[in-house]
Structure 1
Amino acid sequence: MTNKSKDSVTPTDQPDTSKSAKLGLLALIAIVVGSMLGGGVFSLPQNTAATSAVGPVVIAWLIAGIGIYFIANSFRLLSDLRPDLQAGVYMYAQEGFGSFIGFNVAWGYWLMTCFGNVAFAIILMDALNQFFPGVFTGGNNLTSIICGSVLIWGYNFLVLSGTRVAGAINTIGTIAKLVPLILFVIILGFLINYTQLFTNVWGTSPAIVAAGSNPQESVSLFTQILAPMTVTLWAFIGVEGAVVLSGRAKNKKDVGKATLIGFIVALFIYILLSVLPFGAMPQAELATVANPSTAGVLSHMVGDWGDWFMNVGLIISVLAGWLAWTMLCAEIPMVAGEKGAFPKVFAKTNKNHAANVSLWVSSGVMQAAMLLVYFSNNAWVTMYNISALMVVPAYITTTLFMAKICLNRQYDQYAKTGRTMALCSGVLGALFCLFILYASDLKYVALIPVLLTCGLPVYIWSRKEKQLAAPIFNRMEKMYLGILLALDVIVILLFFMTDVFK
């Protein structure tokens, strides 16, 4: 029998009849959609128009949609084929490539969720500044830091009340935040100038800058397609949310369904939110709208109430998304602690089956990052770029694991059909991850190995805790470690010898 007392360790192989497995299909879809449709979605009009015309924006979303589809399909297939690998973002990497790679995926994904929550705090405070001008300027002044810190610990105590309670609140919040986004799309669909929407579709004609009359040089089509790729990846982070919480699902088959449904809903909303505003104002003017830009666009079309309405929607969206990501960032270290990748203290749960130690440590990391953004000139851009790229190790190892089990015929042990499509999902999903790294800002890509290296002491602690006769790093893992440290040296050289980080 499993000890259910406070601070007990709950094994991941417990049956689904456990009290902790309380998330149904609707709740899992809400986790996926709620994780993806965070505060950043309210800034998509300006974020995409700042670098690209409407045609390249559509192509960028289609490329991202296809790439993320293969990643999401890999998660969906693996959740059906290997339901034994709960919290699959971490377990797929360990199963396929060993404990050290698995740890790095868990560590990187965990940091991503923590930094993502700090990004939520910044944009939430920025939205509140619309109602209290000057009080939350920039989203990272002293008042913003204090209020953001209060929310970090408020969510900490809410999630400590249990996954069932937090999941129910997240479902309600997800439905509530869809309302302003849907109304935004409907209103623009009726009011925009469709002639303007199809003017200078490819951005090949010089645009007129809104603040003056000097022509802005046209940018190549390829550059315009590449520019918003990090924005699109950030928007799709969370597609794996149902897989991360698969150990809490009532029915394991719902995990795959929730992943695919959530992905389709989010892609449809993203494209409309990015495209329709081009019919509300010219690209040059749209590119200068203050974030959250959906508020500025709607205000331009219907008056001041549009600004108020979308900012309220943003606040609801961020509060709901923040809750979903707090649940996720607590789950990853807990499962890693149960499986031995993290020290076993992270696996402790309270009487409500909440990952209390993992949650307290995660909240502490978020608090430290919240204090650091006070010194950032562009805190929102920094946080969302780091978060978007720190998820890449999880995505690429999952897709490579999908490809691996197809190539070595392990797939045939779990299913009789579909191996070709599964292999395509794994290979193309992995290639898309590499494309994202290529399209992203080098200074943020360079931070990936540095942040992964910061987790080495935790990995060594967990390995020593097992008291294994085998060395901490086997021969293959020593090669991985050597590559990681070599990348760190390259980053340091780039920092001191070039302007990459300026």
Structure 2
Amino acid sequence: MATSTNTQKFSRWTLTAMVVGSMVGAGIFSLPRTFGNATGPFGAIIAWAIAGSGMYMLARVFQILAERKPDLDAGVYAYAKAGFGPYAGFLSALGYWIGSCIGNVSYWVLIKSTLGAFFPIFGDGNTIPAILVASVGIWLFHFMILRGVQQAAFINTVVTICKIVPILVFILLALFAFNWEQFSANFWGGEGMPEMSLFEQVRATMFVTVFVFLGIEGASVYSRFAKTRTDVGFATLVGFAGVLILMVLVTMLPYAVLPQAEIAAMRQPSMATVLEAIVGPWGAVFVSIGLLISVLGAYLAWSLICAEVLFTAAKTRDMPKVFATENQNKVPSAALWMTNIIVQLFVISTYWSRDAFALMLNLTSSMALIPYLLVAAFGLMLTRRGETYNIRPQERTRDLAIAGIALVYTIFLLFAGGLKFVLLSAILYGPGTILYFWARREQNEKVFTPMELIVFIVAMIGCVAGIYGFVTGYFVV
């Protein structure tokens, strides 16, 4: 097996581009309709205040852990294992990996849905022609990445710059078209929208905010490529702040252009339809081109992250060792093959879904919640014990508060998502444990501690309940 000890290091701006590139993808282009379906500007302000504050605290936890635990690479997975044992670490790696794979599927669905506005053969992104074209794209990217991570990271940096431009143009044109009377009419919820309490409105937006913030840990995942550990924290916070500002503006400005009911009825990507209403048909074409660049760039970034997580888990012997192999270009080839096989299978499954993009968005978010929860819990554990605080002990109280808020926020997200998506994620967590059995057998290690066995049993009960929900029609997908 090749090693990566001599791998070229990323600059802090390359790491920042990895964060921005992985966060700015499909989600930002779907925000107008997604929020328009749920709430007006007032509810959106509250939702973003909660999501922004919660995710900021989570970003700070990643920053704190990157600086105080520099020996833990591929943060999301490594922190869970260090805090709660090998099975928790495995579940974190599995959930983050599969969730990222499903997120990649949502990118292909949105690409084909975007093209469907101009070429009806692609429909809403889940027709047979759409699936066939997406399949070709999956494997084209696969073989490009096999040529080298450094090359792919450079392409990601260039694409990140290119895709921000259409979003900025949309924001500027929407600001120019800002109509205060229209914004006021939508503020408490527009006409023709169903009555919902403010709490339910905010709750309905929570999963999409998780989806659009996925990638906040991009620099942490690539910490082994950082020149210094402080660069990881810098990239995480700068990337987060910039993307948050973009997302809030993209969400709020359409309320000042169109009635909420019209925004809620738009096809995805709704940002294109909003700009079309402002400047005419060329606006939809312009945003659609920007979306294609953005989503393809995000797909590239997430393909790298997926393979890196699986590769690192295998190197630490928490996944089967076959996934720790690299090719001559230092690319985790076996992990990349497994990743794209899973993406391919989920792309095929979208054929039977009524709203493939919404399902993939929500399932991606639900799979990410357990890894995020474990990171926040580990951050709280570290600060409560005072571990590593012999250096700069005055920061401990502050860090304890940050980790505590991040943990409460991730628990709230599980509640906001509801039982349905917890059980849907269990369908993947339960059978996925086969990989854990495989890895433990390779090492002749005991599979579970008594507590881990209880966690496994709970996961399998959830898996059975989730399958039952599909069979009985409780889960409509």
TM-score normalised according to structure 2 size: 0.97
Distance 1:217 1:381 in 2: 20
* Equivalent position amino acid for 2:3 in 1: T
Distance 2:153 2:228 in 1: 15
Distance 2:396 2:418 in 1: 35
Which structure 2 residues correspond to residues 483-498 of structure 1 after superposition, within 5 A?
483-492=458-467, 494=469
Q: Which residue of 1 aligns with 2:3?
A: 10
Which structure 2 residues correspond to residues 34-45 of structure 1 after superposition, within 5 A?
34-45=21-32
- Contact 2:427/2:464, CA 8 A, preserved across alignment: no
Q: Which residue of 2 aligns with 1:62?
A: 49
Q: Which residue of 2 aligns with 1:479?
A: 454
Q: Which residue of 2 aligns with 1:126?
A: 113
Q: Which residue of 2 aligns with 1:3?
A: none
Q: 1:447 to 1:414 in 2, by over 3 A?
A: farther
* Equivalent position amino acid for 1:192 in 2: F
Q: Which residue of 1 aligns with 2:166?
A: 180
- Contact 2:186/2:260, CA 8 A, preserved across alignment: no
Q: Which residue of 2 aligns with 1:191?
A: 177
2:145 corresponds to 1:145: no
Distance 1:409 1:344 in 2: 34
Distance 2:468 2:351 in 1: 27
Distance 1:489 1:120 in 2: 29
Distance 1:233 1:193 in 2: 30
Q: Which residue of 2 aligns with 1:201?
A: 187
Which structure 2 residues correspond to residues 55-94 of structure 1 after superposition, within 5 A?
55-94=42-81
SS of aligned partner of 1:253:
helix
The one of 91, 98, 104 equivalent to 1:111 is 98
Q: Which residue of 2 aligns with 1:402?
A: 379
Q: Which residue of 1 aligns with 2:33?
A: 46
Give 1:501 deviation, angstroms: 4.8
The one of 329, 346, 350 equivalent to 2:306 is 329
The one of 405, 410, 415 equivalent to 1:428 is 405
Q: 1:154 to 1:413 in 2, by over 3 A?
A: farther
Q: 1:163 to 1:500 in 2, by over 3 A?
A: closer
The one of 318, 329, 334 equivalent to 1:341 is 318
- Contact 1:81/1:415, CA 8 A, preserved across alignment: no
Which structure 2 residues correspond to residues 18-417 of structure 1 after superposition, within 5 A?
18=6, 20-131=7-118, 133-203=119-189, 207-209=190-192, 216-417=193-394
Q: 1:282 to 1:384 in 2, by over 3 A?
A: same
Give 1:345 deviation, angstroms: 1.0
Q: 1:42 to 1:48 in 2, by over 3 A?
A: same
- Contact 1:122/1:139, CA 8 A, preserved across alignment: yes
- Contact 1:43/1:294, CA 8 A, preserved across alignment: yes
Distance 2:100 2:297 in 1: 14
- Contact 1:21/1:249, CA 8 A, preserved across alignment: no
Q: Which residue of 2 aligns with 1:465?
A: 442
SS of aligned partner of 1:454:
helix
- Contact 2:104/2:299, CA 8 A, preserved across alignment: yes
Distance 2:388 2:43 in 1: 38
- Contact 1:68/1:236, CA 8 A, preserved across alignment: yes
Cα deviation 1:454-480 (Å, max 9, x = unaligned): 211110110011123xx2112222222
Structure 1, gaps ≥5 residues long = 1-7, 210-215
Distance 2:154 2:50 in 1: 34
Distance 2:235 2:86 in 1: 28
Measured on the aligned residues, the alpha-carbon RMSD in Å equals 1.6
Cα deviation 1:99-156 (Å, max 9, x = unaligned): 000000001110011111110000011112233x212111111111111111111111
- Contact 2:149/2:331, CA 8 A, preserved across alignment: yes
SS of aligned partner of 1:22:
coil
- Contact 1:442/1:500, CA 8 A, preserved across alignment: no
Q: Which residue of 2 aligns with 1:445?
A: 422
SS of aligned partner of 2:215:
coil
Cα deviation 1:371-429 (Å, max 9, x = unaligned): 11112111101111100110111101001000001111214145433112211222211
Q: Which residue of 2 aligns with 1:213?
A: none
TM-score normalised according to structure 1 size: 0.92
* Equivalent position amino acid for 1:35 in 2: S
Q: 1:186 to 1:195 in 2, by over 3 A?
A: same
Distance 1:486 1:159 in 2: 38
Of Structure 1 and Structure 2, the greater helix share is in 2
Distance 1:37 1:45 in 2: 15
* Equivalent position amino acid for 2:257 in 1: A
SS of aligned partner of 2:394:
coil
SS of aligned partner of 1:418:
helix
Q: How many corresponding residue pairs? A: 477
Distance 2:364 2:39 in 1: 22
